[in-house]
Chains A and B, each alone.
Chain A
Amino acid sequence: MWLYFLKRMALAIAIIAIAVALMFLMIRAVPGDPAAILLGPRSTPEMRALLHEQMGLDKPLVVQIITFFGGLLHGNLGFDVFSQRPVADIVLEQLPFTIELILVSILWAVVVAVPLGCYSAVRRNSFVDQVAGVLAVATIAIPSFVMAVYALLIFAVTLRWLPAIGAGNGFWDGLIHLILPGFAIGVGWVGYISRLVRASMLEILGENHIRMARSFGISEWRIVARYALPLAILPTVTILGVGIAWLLSSAVFIEVVFARPGIGALIVNAVNTRNYPIVMGVVLVTTLLIVTATTLSDLINAFLDPRTREKL
């Protein structure tokens, strides 16, 4: 297990380094001058030259990339040119909002979808199973931002039950502000996870050790909860790890629709204005987030199923 862990960590570091380096090169390959965008149409060539100097853009590309990675080793992601604030501070103060949105979305999806998937598998082809199947496909097909707009119009604008924008203040207010955006992102996952759990549960329920348990007279729900579910949940754990990237892209739209703070809203603005230090900061953090999630899901899988440890 330890060897597997070390290999997996080395791979994660390599992935982060490659992703960040690629992004660094890609944003500089785009034609146009970031200083012209940041300073606007009224800027003079002298002002743009000064900004180039401040952002280090006047130096050769190799020097820029070495400076960036050198700073990274010291935890320095640079400074935002306008606000004069450290990029790390700007990114880290937005990160919790995105993480809480993703976690709430996925948590409520798992809480609803796993029992639903189990029920559908146990009561295969029942009315509930069929309705759940239809709803699952429907919710997967509807993009989260469409769901967000309609949820907002119904529950915030028309009924005024829930707040329309922002992240709230304090724990409970924050939680209330998470209901609509969390619902919008999570609803597609309910359908997806419930179908996934149902399919793998059906497979597990047909295996020999389950038949053996039944022959011992163990109740069906105990078999499902104790013997089948821990195995049937494995594909879901894997999917959730990979799904972080998908959730992050959903969060970008949702943060715009609900005017929520978060790294999605931050990167949209930073990319539009070619604010290189912020773009790099966000890319680094999102890459870390995705690599951490996939690594964690691999480690959990390896823990739950020792056979996977040999596959790296």
Chain B
Amino acid sequence: MNNIVGSVSRRTLLKTGAALGGGIIAAGMPLSQTIWAAEGKVLKARAFRELLTLDPGFYGGVADVDVMNCIYSKLTHFKPGTEWGWDLEAAEKIEPVDPTHIRFRLKKGIKFTGGYGELTAKDVKFSFERIIKHKSPVATEWGPLDHVELEDDYTGVIVFKTPFAPAWLISLPYGVGHIVSEDAVMKATGDGSSFGVKPPAFSGPYVIAEWKANEHLLLTRNPDWSGPKPGFDEIRILPIGDEKAAERAYQAGDIDFTRISLDSLASLKTNPPADTTVEEHASLSYTWLGMNLDHPKLKDINVRKAVQWAINVPQILDAAYAGQATVATGLIAPGLVGHRDKALVPPEGDLAKAKEFLEKAGVSDLTLTLDCLNDSTKSTIAQVIQAQLSQIGITVDVKVQDSGSFWTIGSEADGDRWKDMQLIIIEYTMLPDPYYATSSFVSEQVGVWNWQRFSSKHFDELNEKALALDDPSERAKLYREMQDLMEESGAYRFLTHGGTPVMYRTTQIQAATRPDGVPLYLEFKPV
């Protein structure tokens, strides 16, 4: 060995090093054999994050569901447009039998890939029941699902323990409503648990031709698909986490559809890239300032009212959302059943009234803590609230927290921090049924996700009653009343639903989205 070392001169070592460096670079290149199809119509879109899973029973978020919509069938799907609604997909017919039973009849001839045969009611039963059986993180989206009864190969009845009206807009047309092959999943997993990112069989118009994590996902037409053909031969989805990076990628022509940031919305509206349509959509999520009803400093409703009235929401939105988000009137976004036209406290608040409430409470030199997440939007909201409350003599100590720490503040199962929590800025995500929002604020959620510890027997009764109603206008009345109750408690100051604006290239695509801007790729048309 010494001889070998001895025979290598310094010059040889330097030369070898240079050659090795070049070789390593060449070897490290992504030598993919994939050839992007040069022909055919191709949709190039952006996902705001990488896939977490492709198992619909255990999906991780909307980015996963956007892909699942293309590769699996479900009984119904969302209609594109500005109003929430659904159309039939794998179901030939679906109807409520009574408040706890929904009967469906499948279309014939929908095939699973890989030789797993036709999609039958048995697969529907398996797909829905495994979510409950395996305690999936998204099991709540099936609410009180009990089981699925089979009537014949194509007909079945979904049975709930108690009435569950949200099934029509939460369960059936979205993530947990996708149908997987029982035979394929059992073969892949052994027990029907999550199969992660490797679907054992497809049943939608597309199949996954290639997935390279953090690079791209390539969907191509499913050769076994017998239903209506979507417009594009290929869909390429590129995960781009950063909104600004996505906007630059769009401008450079790398993608033709993307969500855009609210910061950029004003400038893109006035000066859009060539051949581009910019669309504004209100998000479903809701952000609010919450107050801990059980904290001694906030026990007096007059203190809470003073905080509510001191907050000027448009000022906050100007600072934190570049003035591009609209004021929330409650938990429920515009377009959804139960949306309120206006809140009880006007958006601008009223400082004089706030001071009156504080005098009534007989409080002076009040100092409150305000917890928020460490992202720039929530930190800005906190700073503006700090300034606004100082106008009525309340000193606010802002406590910016990492997400791991933040999301357990109000949880009784995670310690005693809920006892010290005073003010908090929270944003919850939402699905298109008011139940999804209100169910977090019922009494049994106190100390779980109801961190304001708001507890109203009347609210709980209304929430139960609304689940059993089919008539949207009747349901809406109840949900509006529930939001009134929340606001009257003084524990909530609703801020905004944010926004999910999108832009797309009109020379390439005619986009189709849900009312909240989420893309429905199957409905996209080539131009």
Residues of A within 8 A of B (CB): 1-2, 30-34, 36-37, 39-48, 50-51, 82-85, 90, 93-94, 96-97, 99-100, 103-104, 107, 152-153, 156-157, 160, 163-171, 174-175, 230, 233, 256-262, 265-266, 268-269, 272, 274, 300, 303-304
Contacts and interface: CB of A to CB of B under 8 A. Distances in A.
Nearest to A101: B28
Contact of A37 (B52, B251, B404): B404
Nearest to A50: B135
B38 interface: no
A158 B255 CA distance: 15
B449 A41 contact: yes
Contact of B28 (A44, A46, A99, A166): A99
Sorted from nearest, which 10 A-B pairs have the closest CB atoms? A32-B404, A84-B196, A164-B252, A261-B214, A32-B405, A100-B28, A259-B240, A96-B28, A82-B52, A156-B252
Interface string B78-113: 000000000000000000000000000000000000
B115 to A, nearest CB: 23
B144 interface: no
Nearest to A45: B413
A100 B25 contact: yes
Interface in B215-235: 215-216
14 contacts: A32-B402, A32-B403, A41-B440, A45-B413, A99-B28, A107-B25, A157-B251, A165-B252, A166-B216, A169-B34, A170-B34, A256-B245, A257-B245, A259-B245
A103 B197 contact: no
Given A41-B429, A230-B10, 17 more contacts: A30-B404, A31-B402, A44-B448, A82-B52, A93-B212, A99-B28, A157-B248, A160-B252, A160-B253, A166-B254, A174-B30, A175-B29, A259-B238, A268-B241, A269-B50, A269-B241, A303-B5
A153 B244 CA distance: 11
Nearest to B55: A84
Given A33-B404, A82-B53, A257 B254 contact: no
Residue among B2, B28, B240, B251 with most chain A CB within 10 A: B28
A93 to B, nearest CB: 6
A48 B448 CA distance: 12
B511 to A, nearest CB: 20
B238 A40 contact: no
B135 A167 contact: no
B197 A33 contact: no
Given A100-B29, A259-B239, A107 B414 contact: no
B60 A82 contact: yes
Nearest to A263: B214
B140 interface: yes
Interface string B60-89: 100000000000000000000000000000
A163 B1 CA distance: 48
B387 interface: no
Interface string B1-43: 1100100001101100100011011101111111110000000
Nearest to B253: A160
Nearest to B196: A84
Contact of B402 (A30, A45, A47, A156): A30
B49 interface: yes
B248 A164 contact: yes
Given A97-B30, A259-B241, A269-B241, A107 B403 contact: no
Contacts of B139: 47
Contacts of A36: 404, 407-408, 411, 414
B428 to A, nearest CB: 6
Contact of B30 (A47, A104, A170, A303): A170
B213 interface: yes
B194 interface: yes
Contacts of B35: 169
Contacts of B448: 44-45
Contacts of B251: 157, 164
B24 A269 contact: no
